Amino acid sequence: MRKSYNAIIAMVIVVLGLQTENAVAQQDAQYTQYMYNTLSINPAYAGSRGGLSILGLHRSQWVGLDGAPRTQTFSIHSPVGQSERVGLGLNIVNDEIFITNETYIDIDFSYTIPTSDRGKLAFGIKGGAHLLDVNYSEANPFQNGDALATAQDNIDNRFTPLVGVGLFYYTDKYYLGLSAPNLLRTEHFDDSENSNDANATYLARERINYYLTSGYVFNVTEDFKFKPAGLVKWVAGAPLQVDVTANALLYDKLTLGLAYRWSASVSALAGFQITDGLMLGLAYDRETTALQQFNDGSYEIFLRFEVLNKPKRLISPRFF
């Protein structure tokens, strides 16, 4: 029974991406359209759009693979006050993987300092809650008699705090961000209470994820703008994640792009500015690893609604 239970715990730890004595993997949810969903990883982004911005995003990863990640994100942020130096935001992420469900709820605060006629530097901090659900019984359908895999051992809404920080420098054409969404090294899965064996304790700790993001807009012609962008994510003990993206904006309406995630996947992106305040975005990822034979790719869709304080023509070249 103990061997079966520990096998379940090990699988949960791998899919969650926690660090144990024997395993480390990716932790935070990943996004292909990260340039539009920056608030999820950097609190300094709050208020940078120049008005009220509301975004909803859904990602289904590795479609066709049982227990694959499914992520939903909702964010809302805006500058406040006449100077618009202060930004406030709310970000909610729900991440379902295998038998686990994680919910992140955080409030974002930013303060922006003009560094030149065009450039601005924002400092950000976020605070909130992480809620964890784990349903062990769903992971062990072959041993119904295993008392340790019953509902009484499930984890329901286990609360842990989270605190994150970030920097975000931007102009109308360029941005550079550095952030750590959660600085707290939370411990999970200490099951010593359920065992008479002191050596049976199975402990995992989250590691801090560091993000570096950047992008630039080239005005090729009046109706054609090209923006390369990149994201680098580093967490101790795990492989470096590097995303490189090339987007083209046509007639300030249609966005088309390609992306590559180092040693992981290639992606196609498309977006359409339906109205001045409403944008729809789509992305499809295809694995470049051996995992591609077990799934049909990953899909991502977002919808962004904005009420801007400045004329749209003044900020449209950014499209980030």
Do 90 and 108 contact (CB within 8 A), yes or no? yes
Chosen CATH of 26-136+152-184+206-219+273-307 out of 2.40.160, 1.20.120, 1.10.760, 2.40.50 = 2.40.160
Give the pLDDT confidence score for residue 74 in this predicted structure: 97
Distance of CA 233 to the CA centre of its chain: 11
Q: What is the reported pLDDT for 157?
A: 81
For range 86-104, the mean pLDDT: 94
Distance separating alpha carbons of residues 98 and 43, to the nearest angstrom: 28
- Flag whether pLDDT at 301 surpasses 90: yes
Contact 73, 106 (CB under 8 A): no
Cα–Cα distance between 120 and 126 in angstroms, integer?
Answer: 19
pLDDT of residue 245: 97
- Average pLDDT for the chain: 84
User: Looking at the predicted structure, is the pLDDT value of residue 228 above 60?
Assistant: yes
Query: DSSP labels for 151-214?
Result: GGG-EEEEEEEEEEEEEEEE-SSEEEEEEES-----EE---GGG-S-GGG---EE----EEEEE
Instruction: Answer whether 235's CB lies under 8 Å from 27's CB.
Output: yes
Domain ranges across the chain:
26-136+152-184+206-219+273-307
Q: Which pLDDT does position 232 carry in this prediction?
A: 97
pLDDT number for residue 234: 93
The residue-averaged pLDDT of 93-99 equals 92
Return the minimum-mean-pLDDT range out of 52-61, 85-94, 234-243. 234-243
Condensed to tens digits (0 to 9), the pLDDT of residues 49-76 reads 999 999 999 999 999 998 899 999 999 9
pLDDT band at 187; cut points 50, 70, 90: low
Mean per-residue pLDDT, 125-137: 90
Q: How far apart are CA 40 and CA 211, in angstroms?
A: 11
Place of tokens 């034979």: 293
The least confident of 18-27, 208-217, 236-245, 286-295 is 18-27
Question: At 88, which amino acid appears?
Answer: L
Task: Name the residue among 202, 208, 235, 206 with its Cα closest to residue 10.
Answer: 202
Tokens for 109, please give them.
């605060």
